[in-house]
Structure 1
Amino acid sequence: MEYAQGTKSNILINGSTLVGLFITVAFFVYGIQMNLFTSQTALQTFLQQFGWFAPVVFIMFQAIQVVLPISPGAIGCVAGVLIFGSVQGFIYNYIGICIGSIAVFLLARQYGLNYVMNMSNKKVFNKYIGWLKKPSFERIFATAIFLPVAPDDFLCYIAGMSKMKLKKFVLIILLGKPFAIIMYSLMLNIIVQKLLPLL
């Protein structure tokens, strides 16, 4: 009986994973076709269709753009603030980016070096992969996540290949991301607001 229940649970989990993967891929393809990952205006227009459900879609968007590095994360951060306001925009950015970062860590841990290489820019990969050999990697990683001075998404891939425990990684992400997101969101928002009148 226990084995049968376990089998049913596995089928349910695997089925849910496949459905989630299909939805993610479909949204990814649609996003490319509609320029959602490269145009803030296109993203705003897209989100307005969903009314009260827009925050959920935006969080999904932010999570996907972390896992699939197809556009600068700054686009989503600025869009979040402009569309939802400073406070809500920050919250939605934070939730989506944290979900994506944790997913990246787990994917790297599951599929290893070849997967990370395929998902990375060669130049960035060669520049930062050496961090894994440093005894102080976890401290360096935490500093890089807190301060927006390095490619955070790629560093999460590297962390997945390290000996860092998931619990510690999640703690670093949850505590370190807010400052970096605020810096990205608010500073870039100020720049955009300054440039718009000139265009």
Structure 2
Amino acid sequence: MEYTDFLLKFVEQGGPLVGIFLPILEAFIPILPLVGFVIINVGVFGFFWGYIYSWIGSCIGSFLLFLIIKKVEGKRLESKIKESKYKGTLDKIRRKNFSVLFILYCFPFTPSFLISGTSALSNMNTKKFLTALIPAKLIMMISLSFIGVNVKSFLKNPMKSIIFVVIIILFNLLCKKIVDRYEKKHRK
């Protein structure tokens, strides 16, 4: 409990910049708990601002990671992958890049580090990456922020948790259909 109190006070005293920095940090160190940072932000700043700060930080962190891997390591790693057994996987990501990326980023517990890194290695267009990242993270952060506001009620009422998870899955499926239609329309 002392660690939690310390972290809450640290974020409270540091203000929005610390609230934004924590999700950025999580993008580079995937072992850190994004859901924990979102819960802290919502607890300190309230639902709306905690959600906004978490979303901004998560988008910035994922984008910075994408750029770093793409610019620094991308060329070297991509040539190694092309020579390995993973070439087929890289090609699949290239072909389905937007919809796959969007859907993966929507799910709250998909590792952003892996998605951003794979997108960079697949040599994805930066504009396409941002087009998928920003709205998908918006959806994911609303899910995590809702959990952050209702942590105690989720533990007390597991049925509420189950209903919420089902709603998130249905919402993600709806988003997938919308993205698929968008891609079909723009392929022509």
TM-score, normalisation: structure 2: 0.66
For 1:146, the equivalent position in structure 2 comes to 106
Amino acid in structure 1 at the alignment position of 2:90: L
State the shift of 1:160 in Å.
Answer: 0.9
| Runs of at least 4 residues off by over 4 Å | 113-116, 128-131, 193-196
Of 170, 173, 181, which aligns to 2:141? 181
TM-score, normalisation: structure 1: 0.63
State the shift of 1:115 in Å.
Answer: 9.7
1:89-128 matches, cutoff 5 A: 89-112=50-73
Unpaired stretches in structure 1, ≥5 consecutive residues: 1-34, 117-127
**Which secondary structure does the structure 2 equivalent of 1:49 belong to?**
helix
Percent of aligned pairs with the same amino acid: 26
Larger RCO: 1 or 2 (CA < 8 Å, sep 6+): 2
Conservation of the 8 A alpha-carbon contact between 2:39 and 2:144: yes
The 3 A distance-change label for structure 1 pair 57 and 154 is same
For 1:43, the equivalent position in structure 2 comes to 7
Once residues 191 and 103 of structure 1 are traced to their aligned partners in structure 2, the CA distance between those partners, rounded to angstroms, is 30
Amino acid in structure 2 at the alignment position of 1:43: L
Conservation of the 8 A alpha-carbon contact between 2:55 and 2:141: yes
Of 132, 136, 155, which aligns to 2:90? 132
State the shift of 1:143 in Å.
Answer: 1.3
Once residues 128 and 42 of structure 2 are traced to their aligned partners in structure 1, the CA distance between those partners, rounded to angstroms, is 29
Once residues 71 and 164 of structure 1 are traced to their aligned partners in structure 2, the CA distance between those partners, rounded to angstroms, is 26
Unpaired stretches in structure 2, ≥5 consecutive residues: 78-85, 157-188
1:48-87 matches, cutoff 5 A: 48-50=12-14, 54-87=15-48
Once residues 93 and 193 of structure 1 are traced to their aligned partners in structure 2, the CA distance between those partners, rounded to angstroms, is 22
